[in-house]
Structure 1
Amino acid sequence: MDAHRLIKLAESKNDRDLVERVINRFYKVYFTDGKSIADKDVLTAAAVEAGLDKDEVEKILVSDQYERQVVGDEVEAQQLGIQGAPFFVINNKYAISGAQPYEVFVQALEKVKAEEK
Structure 2
Amino acid sequence: MSKSWLMVIIAAGFEVGWVIGLKHAAGWLEWGATAIAIVVSFTLMIAASRTLPVGTVYAVFVGLGTAGTVVADIVLFRGEAKLGQLAMIGLLLIGVIGLKLVSQEKPEETVEVNRA
Q: Normalising to structure 2: TM-score of the pair?
A: 0.29
Q: Which has the higher contact order (CA 8 A, sep 6+)?
A: 2
The structure where helix makes up a greater share of residues is: 2
Q: Normalising to structure 1: TM-score of the pair?
A: 0.28
